[in-house]
Structure 1
């Protein structure tokens, strides 16, 4: 297990160091177990050292210590050599138990700290699409897993959606075929249980658990995994599956707690991001409505000025607008229309005119429409040409 690390980042190197340390501790346990077996005799049945489940090593150490103490009590007082060996083994086992505890505590604390750092990064992502895109990657990079799969929950089924693997070739080899595939929520399955409990489930051995074998065992080749819910409001809207494949290491309670911490924090971040998106949409709608209202008010104000001018020479202006081939001149324009027309002649766009005159682009369009009508022109170029001809 000491050579199973794949990361080259600081987090990856730290994870590789944890596995090396874990392998050393399990090797020490195997040596001590053999020593106890040799001291106790071949007829003794001792607990097995599980290389794929190092979290159970503390239980094995405790059983060996109790066995040695019981054997020491039954040792004759004259058998000093055996008593000394048993006492030495008890001390070594107790030291190993302390080392295992410190290693587990340190590893779990660091993984939770990395998990918090990943969640902190996710809080800065502004939309839900980008948030979901990087969720699985953060689980693999920060939480100590080799792969993670995010699935949607729809009614009485779940659909694999996106994933991230420490070995990218896996995504091409099997997961693509399962994307958006409907998988029923069997009443005995761990995924169904967490729908009501809203707590993560640890599947230590998939061979003895009621899991959906086609994707989890047959395609994914997972021997052990953790699944945790994504909650939005009062509903479970998704799952996250995570494991250590292709490593032989099985998932444990530490993996369950770390994934639970991540998915719980992610659920709050996702809900917050959804609310922010709604607020942004409402803000944009309000801004659009206010802008339209301002444009309408500007148009009404300009129309009032125009009507006043029309009342003074309505018949003459009507003739200039409707007569075939007739055109107006800049004297027919209001002060603001004249400003707009001056910039039109200079070749400015509506946006440039709006920025120059500090008005909205909608107001510019309204002024341009009035200018074209007063010149009897079909477009901007014609209005400019007729104005120059008039001059």
Structure 2
């Protein structure tokens, strides 16, 4: 116990509360104050543990402050003397200073956290597809200050790891994904993440190896002692899970880390919604483009077949030599109607395009010779690939030669 003759209590390191005090300094002050409080207030339970995180420090400091108020009232009732009362009053002031330092540190850490989350989300807004978001998300989580991160999707009540990131070991990232995807876990009461999904609230698991409801394979692969997790919500549904551990500054995770990951998850959910909407619009645009190309093709063929007969003889249009052009109705008919091979399903125009492809011509060259647009040629190529069952132009040409050989041998 402190010397009762003069009521002196040793000065605290960094207790002046400078604005640039680090979190380490604040925790050192808190540890010292709690040790002194346990002696002065004769409350052994107030003594700080060997390792102290900000959340536990705040809880212990609040308890110390309550104990000081109780002790001071007791001393005054018992009229124990001014020395003892002065000691407790000084202790109260030091507890207040330590709590103020912790609050200031927490405020600055939250400000820095918000800035990092905003930066990460800003980078992810540049993604064009959901697949790209899924791939990049773990690395952006790591940039928040975590050494390892995992992105998982929730599908049919299963937890399936999709992408991971490790600052120190790229192989570990692959191992995490393998452990979480080779045998997907059913989201039942056996997993604590099920509660997270049900309540849509983030998790902080402090003693992961001993927790009865953690993912055993992931815990074994990572060797993690504590982790934070948050649900990814899009369009009102939990579509994924985010996990992270090992804050690079503290070596563990705490409540601030949990809230930081949750804040990131909320922002990512909004980006996912926007990206899904963008992909749907892009798909619709492509469908409309394909449809417009088909219509444009029909108009081109109609104009080419009928415009010449509407112009007076000797006009510039007649002066330009043109290849013979079939009418739209004939162009739409099969070129080989009696053919039992896929060639029999091709229209005359599609056969023309296929022959040009067989000659090694590009879309622009084919368009110039057929007096149609590049988009029209692309539309014909798409249709003939589908009819021939080919996946690319080279395969279509190969099938063309094969089927033509069959016709010659028949």
Normalised to the residue count of structure 1, the TM-score between the two structures is 0.70
1:7 corresponds in structure 2 to none
1:34 corresponds in structure 2 to 35
> Is it true that 1:360 corresponds to 2:373 in the alignment?
yes
8 Å Cα contact 2:154/2:160 also seen in 1: yes
Q: How far, CA to CA, are the matches of 1:250 and 1:276 in structure 2? A: 38
Which consecutive unaligned segments of at least 5 residues does structure 2 have? 1-18, 324-355, 380-410
Change (3 A) 1:357 1:304: closer
Change (3 A) 1:209 1:365: closer
> Is it true that 1:92 corresponds to 2:94 in the alignment?
yes
Select which of 262, 266, 285 maps to 2:287: 285
Shift of 1:207: 4.8
Q: How far, CA to CA, are the matches of 1:195 and 1:169 in structure 2? A: 29
2:65 corresponds in structure 1 to 65
1:195 corresponds in structure 2 to 197
1:148 corresponds in structure 2 to 149
2:135 corresponds in structure 1 to 133
How do 1:1-391 and structure 2 match up within 5 A?
Answer: 21-40=22-41, 44-49=44-49, 51=51, 53-75=53-75, 77=79, 79-142=81-144, 144-169=145-170, 171=172, 174-175=175-176, 177-181=178-182, 182-207=184-209, 209-244=211-246, 249-305=251-307, 335=320, 337=322, 351=364, 360-361=373-374
Aligned residues: 319
8 Å Cα contact 1:305/1:334 also seen in 2: no
Partner-residue secondary structure (3-state), 2:35:
helix
Q: How far, CA to CA, are the matches of 2:263 and 2:284 in structure 1? A: 32
1:320 corresponds in structure 2 to none
Partner-residue secondary structure (3-state), 2:151:
strand
Shift of 1:261: 1.7
Change (3 A) 1:208 1:248: farther
8 Å Cα contact 2:27/2:53 also seen in 1: no
Change (3 A) 1:264 1:78: closer
Q: How far, CA to CA, are the matches of 1:61 and 1:211 in structure 2? A: 31
Q: How far, CA to CA, are the matches of 1:276 and 1:148 in structure 2? A: 27
Shift of 1:64: 1.7
Partner-residue secondary structure (3-state), 1:210:
coil
Partner-residue secondary structure (3-state), 2:162:
strand
Which consecutive unaligned segments of at least 5 residues does structure 1 have? 1-17, 313-332, 339-343, 367-391
8 Å Cα contact 2:146/2:248 also seen in 1: no
Give the aligned CA root-mean-square deviation in angstroms. 3.8
8 Å Cα contact 2:293/2:376 also seen in 1: no
Shift of 1:240: 0.7
Shift of 1:349: 6.1
Q: How far, CA to CA, are the matches of 2:378 and 2:114 in structure 1? A: 57
8 Å Cα contact 2:110/2:256 also seen in 1: yes
Q: After superposition, what is the alpha-carbon deviation per residue over 1:213-236, rounded to whole angstroms, capped at 9, x for unaligned?
A: 423432222222222112233432
8 Å Cα contact 1:49/1:60 also seen in 2: no
8 Å Cα contact 2:294/2:376 also seen in 1: no
Higher relative contact order (CA 8 A, sep 6+): 1
Change (3 A) 1:118 1:172: closer
